[in-house]
Structure 1
Amino acid sequence: MSKTASLATLGAALLASALAAPTAQAQMQTCSVMGGSFLFSALYPATGEMPSRSNDCMSALGDGMAAVQLPIADKNIDDIAAAQRRGYGLSDHKWGFLDRDGKLAISPKFDAVQPFAQGLAAAMDGNRWGFIERSGDWAIAPDFGEAQPFAEIGVAPVRKLSEWMLIGRDGERLDIDLGGQLASLSVGPGEPAPVRTTYAPVYQGPDGKQISLIKDLEIVESFGAPDANLFVVRADGALGIVDSDLNILVPPLFDYIDPPRKAGGLWTAAGGATYQALLKPDGTVVGSEYREVRQISDDLWWASGDDREVFIINRAGKTLAEIDRPGRTSIGQFGPFVTYRAEDETRVFAPQADAPVILEKGFLAERTIQDELLLVKDEKGAVAGLISRDGHYLSRKDHDWVGQIDSVEMRGGWYWPNDIDGRLNILGPDLEPLLTPEAVEKLDGFGVEIVPRVDKAEGPVPIAILDQTWCQCNDEGTGLLLSDGSMVVDKTWGRVSLLEDEPLKTNKPRFAIATAEGIGMIDETGKVLLEPSQDHISHFHNGFALTSQNGDIRALDRNGKLHDIPSGFGLKIVSPGLVTYQETAAADELLRLYDIAAGEPVGEARFRTVQDFVAGQAIAKTADGRLGVIDESGAWILKPDYAEIERINGKLWAVREEPTGEAFSTKPKAIVNAAGETVVAFTPSLKVTTWADGRVEVLSHETGLHRLLSENGDVEIDGRETEFGRVGHWLRTVRRPATGYLTANGDWALPLRRGVGSSFHGDRALFATAEGAHLIDRDGETKADLPAAQWAWPAGADWLVGWNEDEDKTIYADAQGKETLSVAGRSGSFRNGVALHRPDRGEKPGWMDRSGKSLAIGRYRDLSRPDDEGLAYAAAQEGLYGYIDSEGRYLIPPVFRDASRFSDDRAIVMTSSSAMMIDREAHPLARVTEMCGVRVLYGPDNRRVWPESLPERCR
């Protein structure tokens, strides 16, 4: 009989014995898988090759010891079983260790453990970590919040009081600088050993205040108004609210905290907790705990209490009404308005009102008008009133003509109610009628042109221009209708027109009046500022309008004063006080600046175009079509060397050397300062954003460039060194991961620097940064650049392996950086001449030799590489694990739910009812199962080792 056949026969017999059906007292699914499935782990060499799953019964060996979870010794076994039946699970079970022969070397007494490494294992007592010896005694007392295994150089990373540090085997802290705000710390194999750090986010407020988060607390976004300095945070997967001192305003209990539809309203917190909440922008909780909350408009919320009563709440958090459960069916909604019909009245909750509007008996809400007004009718269907969003109420009982309303127009910010024959009145924002009955009658004789309303205007403002009707039969002339209901008209004015561009930005607009004598100008009250004398007046721009009279062109200021300017061509007001002009109409004539106040030209004619000045600067084009920036004296601030210029802040400009003709071009753009010095070199797809504090963010996803500049262009943050972004008005920064190399003496062979490095393989190590991957020597000098890929150099591998995701190919290189192999698809590192290889994303991985040739071993649902003895775990199509040889034959049958690689000739396997340590011949050396609510350990002879006795009901 061959060795292979004998092993298979022996393995099958042994497993049949070990995997016999459990007794009635044994429980199925004894061991629980911890974490998700991690299949084909050897495809991903940067992660290391791990067991496909871990379980909470027995761990893989480290230094010849395997962790095992069993009942504690100092508690009655019947009490432990009873606690399990009451739902306390494994609360009375702790971790110990087995040796490689399956003997219980350390009794169960630790709350958590890590594998042994360098003769010590991290172990937890309560909630503190320390390190134990192989005897189970403490070598380093439990005094740490976290601990990682000891590395070959004799140091271990630990966290104490939220600070990561390195300690020696004596437990003393090493006196080395690791930088602040560490999020993680690890030490790799070899000497010098790679020390890798990652960093926690730091948040900096506008006043320079900094927040460094405690462990397991993550800022998700800003909360409320940006200047409130409040944050939504996540802790243990739930959301809450904290202030800038990390004081908890709302405990982290919720699955989501959503902002209102419109800024300044109430936030909604729900999910996870037993209640839901409404939160003001300052973080205070509105009302009490609600069963349900819902935003029903931009300004109103609906909430229900424990007794199913309903609360109507406005954006300020004020409860406008409490309606009992039977009354819920009487709640209605009309766009942004909510109504409640009681027995003797109807209440209307306007979206921006602090109190409900009480309708007269018999009056009912009918519909909204463009979501701005609520139309109210009586029982007979006649119009009874209007309600505004602010809760102003225009009632028929106060004005009889309200009942005649057939339609309402919203024009220029004013309400214009009409009946079937014409205009009834004009209503202001408060729904107060502006016109007397006499004024309404008088208005009917005019044509009306609306003047847009400017908010917060003081005093009467123009509502409309009053013009002649089609018949030109109004003998009162034309003029203005003002917001106090008065009319300013003049029989000599033939036409009135607005001299402002829209949207209107001033509450003191100017108007042109046309008369038989010419064109003049009036102010917002109808006062004449310029007597009619001109042939034409342009719209105002930069504080001036251009006028012409008998061919003479002058500049008109807003006070009605005329200023002499050259009667040229191409006239344009480019700043409050400067005009550009050409002396002739010739096509090649250049523009010249003219100072209106000084009454004289500025400099020579040398510009093809001049854009409007901003803060004393303007972009100008030369005769040959190049762009630069000038000041108000016409001197070049930025020399005309560019095809395109975009102003950033007056000290910095974004420029292009070639024209694009596209609004969102990805062609290279640079940033230069006033001296013409390059701040950011020409970069494709460059996006420039100016922050509220004046700093400038530049970003190019295409090249990976990301910087934060001062308003002068100094680099404050380089994204290659530090990741950054905004959270409200706060700046979030995270230092990029760093790697240094430490000797066994505790000295830096190479200090920490940005990038991720591997262990040294001889005199070379892999070192990767955002700019690319390189091979470095022991002095830290770059010896070879590697092509673009995600590179790894696992311990024990002679070749580096890199995956190019864009091309879906794997590249191998030797220790000099020379490419040795390239294959399509994804592959892992080689071990014993074999690597996992997935040629196509839709295929299952298999084995590949060092020439890139696929090995015909079949396809599996999970697979490792062969170890030094030629065994690899493999999951058959049914999902059960066994161990195969180099030809794909199962030497240990696939009967396990999970399996680890062999280490020190031992592997950990799991079935539905137990976890076992086996040797290469599949002998079970130790087995953990469950009986009567407790974990039970059996030795190689299948005799119970732990606990000393079973619960009484199993005896």
Structure 2
Amino acid sequence: MSKTASLTTLSAALLASALAAPMAHAQTRTCDVMGSSILFSALDPNSGQTPSRSNDCLSALGEGMAAVQLPRADRNIDDIAAGQSQGYGLSDHKWGFVDRDGRLAIPPKFDAVQPFAHGLAAARDGSHWGFIDTSGDWVIEPGFGEAKAFAEIGVAPVWKLYEWVLIGRDGKRLDVDLGGHLASLTVGSGEPAPVRTTYAPVYKSPDGKEISWMPDLEIVGGFGAPEANLFLVRAHGALGIVDSDLNILVPPLFDYIDPPRKDGGLWTAAGGATYQALLKPDGTVVGSEYREIRQISDDLWWASGDDGEVFIINRAGKTLAEIDRPGRTSIGQFGPFVTYRAEDGTQVFAPQADAPVVLEKGFLAERTIQDELLLVQDENGAVAGLISRDGHYLSREDHDWVGQIDSVEIRGGWYWPNDIDGRLNILGPDLRPLLTPEAVEELDGFGVEIIPRVDKAEGPVPVAILGQTWCQCNEEGTGLLLSDGSIVVDKSWGNVSLLEDEPLTTDEPRFAIATAEGVGMIDETGKVLLEPSQDHISRFHNGYALTSRNGDIQALGRDGTLHDIPSSFGLKIVSPGLVTYQETAAADDLLRLYDIAAGEPVGEARFRTVQDFVEGQAIAKTAEGRLGVIDQSGAWILDPDYAEIERINGKLWAVRDEPSDEIFSTKPKAIVNAAGETVVAFTPSLKATTWPDGRVEVVSHETGLHLLLSEDGDIEIDGRETQFARVGHWLRTIRRPATGYLTAEGEWALPLRRGVGSSFHGDRALFATAEGAHLIDRDGETVADLPTAQWAWPADADWLVGWNEDEDRTVYADAQGDETLSVEGRGGSFRNGVALNRPNRNAKPGWMDRSGERLEIGRYRDLSRPDEEGLAYAAAQEGLYGYIDSEGRYLIPPVYRDASRFSDDRAIVTTGANAMMIDRDGRPLARVNETCGVRVLYGPDNRRLWPESLPKRCR
């Protein structure tokens, strides 16, 4: 399926799910504030650029025009009123504009509008946006999915054909490179104008495929096994599953989709309180809809249906049983096992079985043993059987001795049932008894040492070492018990011991045998590989063990071959075929390498220590105590210049200049390559993680460093430029926001680069990146660095304002970057010599002058800065808004539920039922309220302007 077809399929599924959702509540008939009003919005230095309030009646002042929502002109007013009474909300209303004198300048005919800017306003007709002039005529015909206001330089951002582009006032697309995969696009004021971009996630598969996601969708994470290439996605708050080609496997309908406790199991999904589902790791839905789902164990799920029936489901999605409502009371759980007591016998659902185990009549589950075995008893409480996790059943009906079991131990991966007199038998993973009655009898005189279970495709494996008991009175000798029940013993063997480290890393372990003649070696079947001739044999390490005889030391291979090596000191097998040694016991004697197969030394004695080789490399220490990396010839791969070294991947190492005894030390590390070149400079709290594909992620939370390196150390992604993360085995990247400066001719004065820039103030602009904030000139060159803070430079301010959150302090700077003021708490930008200030988080904001002195104006619940005429909106403690002067006196009393700043001597206020445009004296110039079930616009003389007539019942 093509990507375009997949997107269409996905959009159709989203539409279907939206239509299936319950209808939203009808809009209220008051003039409600649209969105939540943010108290003290003037504390945001950028808040002066747009109106802070809007409502759904009369809103969005721009260039002397206010948007108004009224009954549409092309529909009968009585039909509109009837629709309102039936709860249809504002579906029969449209948006128009009133001018600053309160006259209806543009009748209501648009589905949505934005404020006028530079003579044009974005307006929506149906699902498409275009641009209108002040007469309401289309200047640019509707054809965009979204549209933003025109900037001073005569360009506007619009969404067309799944991408953001810039257009001119003629509606034509500008030939401007914006980088692709845009998530948002804005154009600021001034010339050249700042063009700011943010970017959508891009997902890249290991084979190089790239997907740039749709704006209304988000990949939440991988689903199932990494090789499945499936993803959890969120659309409009709901979750679904798609494949790597955007094909929908599970539509986004669920509130949550949770993973199983153990990889490979079923995922649990819920779509509201009444619908749950189980999903296989390949994205297919198991069974039908369930009312409730509960994961019993790593491998079993319990689900209930609409009629109260219960389903027992395993990790493969197979329904093992369907139990009707009355039978629910007979369901039991014993650790990871589920039981169902039916009339004809109890059924046991083992966590890893494909079918239930049916017990003999009268047999019941009793308890679990370490959650590995289920113990079954008869009606008299006697042991009747054992059931393993994968459904194997050892029954008393098949083996009489099962009824004598007193306890069961799980040791070394084997099951050891015992009675009160001692050991009875040994059971394998399938509960098959390993020992015949004769073998049980034969073992009675041996001491038993458990060997961890060995997994081998063919042939018997050792189960236990058979040794002497405490009395040392067994004349049969010692030996091995094998998994086929056979016993290998020898009277001459006084002791048998394991020559391997645990956990076992081989399916052919070796054992030492001690006899009167010396120590020898046998394999996993008891075959003698080395006749008893040694005084001691060490455990195997890197393929060899060290032996000693009469003071002579040799290396022993796993096949029993002895190799001569120097009889010296400090011997250690550091690699398959290499040992280190000192020629004397002197403390300052250095180590030398020795090649076991060649039978000769390698290089000179020059190492204080040599760690185990990994892929032909080892970290070694010099006589001076510095660390480097050597190859198997002893040559330095990485020169010994460091105090600490950690291997990353054989081509890269993390190094420290200074030693640290702390486990989680934050002392600086660097990353170097085999040439000794620094790939990542010394950085505090540096952490390197190797991904499955060999690439290396480098992070320092202390400094914000985040890099993705190739196996060789080349920087593939710099987190300062592009955010990245693993999603399943795909790579998700998001380019950092960027800003460029565009001229009115549609050409870059300064091309896009990472960071967020302000408009130019004369010859200076603010430009902030993750590394810090700077002032730049019109050539883009940095002319001043600003201290650490969150900086802004609003278009109407001559001072920059920066907030240091860590210190809860606001700093101001002039156009040269020099600090002009520093105050405690949060401060807004200055306008007309006044700024809003909140000294601390518990204080109410007020006004301050350019010296930082607080102005005495009283306390208000909400407040803005005064404008050029000295007016500011202010909410009294009761929460109602009015307008105060520079002394804090109300010139327009606090009687409004909400209020905006004045623009062109006009402001928008609401009283709940009414929305009004007022002048600076508080006189209403336009008013919207509801009359007879429809919204009505009244002019400055309180004369109805729209609609032309009221519904019949009100005429």
Residue 60 of structure 2: SS of its match in structure 1?
A: coil
Q: Is the 8 A contact 1:810 1:824 kept in 2?
A: yes
Corresponding position: 1:153 with 2:161: no
What is the CA–CA distance in structure 2 between the aligned matches of 1:458 and 1:879, rounded to whole Å?
83
Name the counterpart of 2:30.
30
Q: Is the 8 A contact 2:255 2:271 kept in 1?
A: yes
Q: Which moved more, 1:44-53 or 1:253-262?
A: 44-53
CA shift for structure 1 position 53: 3.8
Name the counterpart of 2:495.
495
Q: Is the 8 A contact 2:707 2:717 kept in 1?
A: yes
Name the counterpart of 1:834.
834
CA shift for structure 1 position 951: 2.8
Residue 257 of structure 2: SS of its match in structure 1?
A: strand
Residue 118 of structure 2: SS of its match in structure 1?
A: coil
What is the CA–CA distance in structure 1 between the aligned matches of 2:231 and 2:298, rounded to whole Å?
22
Name the counterpart of 1:6.
none
CA shift for structure 1 position 457: 4.5
CA shift for structure 1 position 324: 1.4
Q: Is the 8 A contact 1:372 1:389 kept in 2?
A: yes
Question: For residues 844-855 of structure 1, what are the structure 2 equivalents within 5 Å?
Answer: 844-855=844-855
What amino acid is aligned across from residue 526 of structure 1 in structure 2?
G
CA shift for structure 1 position 796: 1.3
Q: Is the 8 A contact 1:898 1:909 kept in 2?
A: yes
Corresponding position: 1:818 with 2:792: no
CA shift for structure 1 position 32: 2.2
**1:445-466 Cα shifts (integer Å, max 9, x gaps):** 1111110013354321111100
What is the CA–CA distance in structure 1 between the aligned matches of 2:597 and 2:373, rounded to whole Å?
50
What amino acid is aligned across from residue 335 of structure 1 in structure 2?
G
Question: For residues 753-768 of structure 1, what are the structure 2 equivalents within 5 Å?
Answer: 753-768=753-768
What amino acid is aligned across from residue 813 of structure 1 in structure 2?
A
Q: Is the 8 A contact 1:29 1:914 kept in 2?
A: no
Name the counterpart of 2:506.
506
Name the counterpart of 1:7.
none
Residue 444 of structure 1: SS of its match in structure 2?
A: helix
Q: Which moved more, 1:349-358 or 1:557-566?
A: 349-358
Corresponding position: 1:476 with 2:476: yes
Residue 61 of structure 2: SS of its match in structure 1?
A: coil
Name the counterpart of 1:686.
686
CA pair 28-518 structure 1, distance change in 2 beyond 3 A: closer
Q: Is the 8 A contact 2:652 2:672 kept in 1?
A: yes
Name the counterpart of 1:11.
none
Name the counterpart of 2:15.
none
What is the CA–CA distance in structure 1 between the aligned matches of 2:341 and 2:883, rounded to whole Å?
75
What amino acid is aligned across from residue 140 of structure 1 in structure 2?
I
Superposition RMSD on alpha carbons, in Å?
1.3
Corresponding position: 1:458 with 2:458: yes
What is the CA–CA distance in structure 2 between the aligned matches of 1:492 and 1:166, rounded to whole Å?
93
CA shift for structure 1 position 953: 3.6
What is the CA–CA distance in structure 2 between the aligned matches of 1:516 and 1:541, rounded to whole Å?
26
Gaps of 5+ in 2: 1-26
CA shift for structure 1 position 808: 0.9
Corresponding position: 1:317 with 2:317: yes
**1:250-284 Cα shifts (integer Å, max 9, x gaps):** 11111111111111111111144852111111111
Residue 402 of structure 1: SS of its match in structure 2?
A: helix
What is the CA–CA distance in structure 2 between the aligned matches of 1:892 and 1:271, rounded to whole Å?
51
Name the counterpart of 1:876.
876
What is the CA–CA distance in structure 2 between the aligned matches of 1:457 and 1:858, rounded to whole Å?
86
Residue 227 of structure 1: SS of its match in structure 2?
A: helix
Q: Is the 8 A contact 2:52 2:901 kept in 1?
A: no
**1:193-213 Cα shifts (integer Å, max 9, x gaps):** 000011101010111111110
Corresponding position: 1:793 with 2:793: yes
Corresponding position: 1:944 with 2:947: no
What amino acid is aligned across from residue 649 of structure 1 in structure 2?
N
What is the CA–CA distance in structure 1 between the aligned matches of 2:454 and 2:864, rounded to whole Å?
73
Q: Is the 8 A contact 1:28 1:913 kept in 2?
A: no
Residue 387 of structure 2: SS of its match in structure 1?
A: strand
CA shift for structure 1 position 949: 2.5
What amino acid is aligned across from residue 659 of structure 1 in structure 2?
P
Q: Is the 8 A contact 1:294 1:301 kept in 2?
A: yes
What is the CA–CA distance in structure 1 between the aligned matches of 2:715 and 2:852, rounded to whole Å?
47
CA shift for structure 1 position 87: 2.6
Count of residues in correspondence between the two structures: 929
Question: For residues 221-620 of structure 1, what are the structure 2 equivalents within 5 Å?
Answer: 221-272=221-272, 275-620=275-620
CA shift for structure 1 position 29: 5.8
What amino acid is aligned across from residue 383 of structure 2 in structure 1?
V
CA shift for structure 1 position 136: 1.0
Residue 59 of structure 2: SS of its match in structure 1?
A: coil
Residue 58 of structure 2: SS of its match in structure 1?
A: coil
**1:197-243 Cα shifts (integer Å, max 9, x gaps):** 11101010111111110111011111111111111111111111111
CA shift for structure 1 position 305: 1.5
**1:881-924 Cα shifts (integer Å, max 9, x gaps):** 11111111111111111110000111111112111111111111
Residue 563 of structure 1: SS of its match in structure 2?
A: strand
What amino acid is aligned across from residue 199 of structure 1 in structure 2?
Y
TM-score by length of 1: 0.96
What amino acid is aligned across from residue 469 of structure 1 in structure 2?
T
CA pair 506-460 structure 1, distance change in 2 beyond 3 A: same
What amino acid is aligned across from residue 594 of structure 2 in structure 1?
Y
Q: Is the 8 A contact 1:52 1:898 kept in 2?
A: no
CA shift for structure 1 position 49: 5.7
What is the CA–CA distance in structure 2 between the aligned matches of 1:901 and 1:478, rounded to whole Å?
96
Q: Is the 8 A contact 1:568 1:581 kept in 2?
A: yes
What amino acid is aligned across from residue 305 of structure 1 in structure 2?
G
What amino acid is aligned across from residue 324 of structure 2 in structure 1?
D
Gaps of 5+ in 1: 1-26
What is the CA–CA distance in structure 2 between the aligned matches of 1:725 and 1:548, rounded to whole Å?
54
What amino acid is aligned across from residue 306 of structure 1 in structure 2?
D
Residue 60 of structure 1: SS of its match in structure 2?
A: strand
Name the counterpart of 1:121.
121
What is the CA–CA distance in structure 1 between the aligned matches of 2:144 and 2:445, rounded to whole Å?
89
Q: Is the 8 A contact 1:65 1:115 kept in 2?
A: yes
Structure with higher RCO (Cα < 8 A, 6+ apart): 1
Q: Which moved more, 1:553-562 or 1:29-38?
A: 29-38
CA pair 49-739 structure 1, distance change in 2 beyond 3 A: closer
Q: Is the 8 A contact 1:28 1:912 kept in 2?
A: no
CA shift for structure 1 position 478: 0.5
Residue 409 of structure 1: SS of its match in structure 2?
A: strand
CA pair 249-47 structure 1, distance change in 2 beyond 3 A: farther
What is the CA–CA distance in structure 2 between the aligned matches of 1:531 and 1:77, rounded to whole Å?
110
Name the counterpart of 2:57.
57
Name the counterpart of 1:83.
83
What is the CA–CA distance in structure 2 between the aligned matches of 1:48 and 1:889, rounded to whole Å?
22
TM-score by length of 2: 0.96
Q: Is the 8 A contact 1:309 1:328 kept in 2?
A: yes
CA shift for structure 1 position 570: 0.3
Name the counterpart of 1:700.
700
Identity of aligned residues (%): 86
**1:307-364 Cα shifts (integer Å, max 9, x gaps):** 1211111111111111112222221111111111122221111111111111111111
Q: Is the 8 A contact 1:42 1:49 kept in 2?
A: no
**1:60-112 Cα shifts (integer Å, max 9, x gaps):** 31011111111111112222222233332111111111111111111111111
What amino acid is aligned across from residue 156 of structure 1 in structure 2?
A
What is the CA–CA distance in structure 2 between the aligned matches of 1:532 and 1:46, rounded to whole Å?
87
What is the CA–CA distance in structure 2 between the aligned matches of 1:909 and 1:624, rounded to whole Å?
80
CA pair 28-654 structure 1, distance change in 2 beyond 3 A: closer
Q: Is the 8 A contact 1:41 1:49 kept in 2?
A: no
